[in-house]
Amino acid sequence: MKYLPLLLSSLFRKKTRTALTAGSFAVALFLFGILAVVDGAFQQGVDVAGVDRLVVLNRVSIIQPLPLAYRDRLARIPGVTHVTFANWFGGVYQDERNFFPQFAIDRASYRQMYPEFVVPDDQWQAFQTDKEGAIVGEALAERFKWKIGDRIPVKGTIFPGNWEFNIRGVYRGQRVQDDTTQFWFRWDYLDERKSFRKGLVGWYTVRIANPDDAVRLVKTIDEQFANSPAETKTDTEKAFAASFVKQMGNIQLLIMSVGSVVFFTLLLVTGNTMAIAVRERTRELAVLKAVGFSDVFVLALVIAETLIVAAVGGGVGLGLAKLFTLRGDPTGGLLPFFHLPGSSIVTGLALALAVGLTAGILPALSASRLRVVDALRRI
């Protein structure tokens, strides 16, 4: 573009100012990136939830178990294609702060229920034959530097005692957002060793043939077990995950508020800066017009400057946010999914450009409307 030197020269006229304005964009977009990551972290559970899976809990309370006998009854309900179950173990590995989810799973049916988690066949076989076997997620193994064959001691809290497991396999997720921080071991081993609540499972997960059938099946399942000693409360996996986010509070509102404050301030700062810059360059712009460049040209010039600053600053900010996420979760376990998706990056850039445009439009208009005579006379 032949006008590029003209454009760049006006930006480099006051290097400090350009740098500071670009810096403001960088800061705002960095924050945007971080907020998007946090929002994503909270939403992750909801995003990966299976559309064709339902979760069946004890109606009284999430901590109450369900009888093993329900398994066959659930399997027989028309529309249900697969049933599995698990228990929350809640043990402690070395230190309370080393939190990760531990599940006692049904070795016969669990793997089929969650195709998004991939375990090599030979490892799964080893798990089947070792009663004290365990399968751990990739991220979890990475975190503690575990290898297949390691013996992991876990102190039970709900189920007291010193438990030890042999890592027989590592599972990985098919998608970036899949949770690979879980620790699975065998339910039959748990049931054998525990001293109370024998024959009781934490919850059931049920796959249904047709996702559209979900609402109807939820009702059917709960009706099945109404008026029995352990009534059920069934939900789609997505709704179940979403309820936790909602219980956490209005995270969305908080994030939106902070984000708005940041962007509003950015808008003001940029707008003001551009206005000052235009005021200072009245004479130069008037000369351009005197030479023969049109009003529209001047308008476009000023807007182009602002957009360049916005794009560069925004790009840097988003880039830094992305780099920051590569470091992993800074809270040590509370946000297992710390990732900035491409869609957020695109949104961020669009926002930066929008702010740049809005901030630059008024000064650009006033620049384009300069009367050459007045401007050159002004001292």
Partner 1 sequence: MAIPFIYNVRSLRARWTSTVVAVLGIAGTVGVFVAMLSLARGFEATLVASGSPRNAIVRRAGATSEMDSSVMLEQVRVIEDAPGVERGGAGPLVSPEVVVIASFPLKGRDTEGNAQVRGVSPKALAVRPTVKIVAGRVFQPGLTELLVGRNVAASYVGLELGKTVRFGGGTWTVVGVFDSGGTAYDSELWCDFSVLRQVYQRPENMFQSATARLASPDALTPFKDALTSDPRVTVQIDREIDYYAKQSRQLTTLITVLGTIVAVVMGIGAVFGALNTMYSAVAERSREIATLRALGFGSGSIVVSFVVEALCIALVGGLLGCVVVLPLNGLTTGTINWQTFSHLAFAFRVTPDLMAMGLAFALLMGLVGGVPPAVRAARAGIALALREL
Residue span 265-304 as binding mask against partner 1, x where in contact by CB under 8 A, dash where not: xx-xx-xxx-xx---x------------------------
Taking CB under 8 A as the rule, does residue 243 contact partner 1? yes
Taking CB under 8 A as the rule, does residue 246 contact partner 1? yes
Rounded alpha-carbon distances, angstroms, from residue 42 to 45, 62, 137, 245: 7, 20, 19, 6
Taking CB under 8 A as the rule, does residue 229 contact partner 1? yes
Taking CB under 8 A as the rule, does residue 21 contact partner 1? yes
Tokens of 305: 């400057």
- Select 189 or 263, whichever has its Cβ closest to partner 1: 263
Q: How far apart are the first and last CA of the chain?
A: 33
How many chain residues interact with partner 1 (CB under 8 A)? Answer: 58
Torsion (CA) 227, 231, 237, 238 in degrees, nearest 10: 70
| Burial degree of 184 (CB within 10 A; 0-12, 13-18, 19+) | buried
Residue span 58-77 as binding mask against partner 1, x where in contact by CB under 8 A, dash where not: --xxxxx-------------
Q: Sign of the CA dihedral 19, 24, 25, 26?
A: positive
Taking CB under 8 A as the rule, does residue 20 contact partner 1? yes
Annotate 140-169 with b (16+ C-beta within 10 A) or e (fewer). bbebeebeeeeebebebeebeeebebbbbb
Taking CB under 8 A as the rule, does residue 261 contact partner 1? yes
Taking CB under 8 A as the rule, does residue 157 contact partner 1? yes
Taking CB under 8 A as the rule, does residue 249 contact partner 1? yes
- Select 82 or 283, whichever has its Cβ closest to partner 1: 283
**In degrees rounded to 5, what are phi and psi of residue 38?**
-60, -45
Rounded alpha-carbon distances, angstroms, from residue 345 to 36, 37, 126, 259: 9, 11, 42, 15
Q: Residue 378 Cβ, how far from partner 1 at the closest point, in Å? A: 11
Q: In Å, how far from its chain's centre is CA 332? A: 16
Binding site for partner 1 (CB under 8 A): 14, 16-17, 20-21, 23-24, 27-28, 30-31, 34-35, 38, 60-64, 90, 92, 96, 155-158, 160, 196, 229, 231, 233, 242-244, 246-250, 258, 261-262, 264-266, 268-269, 271-273, 275-276, 280, 330-331, 334-335, 379
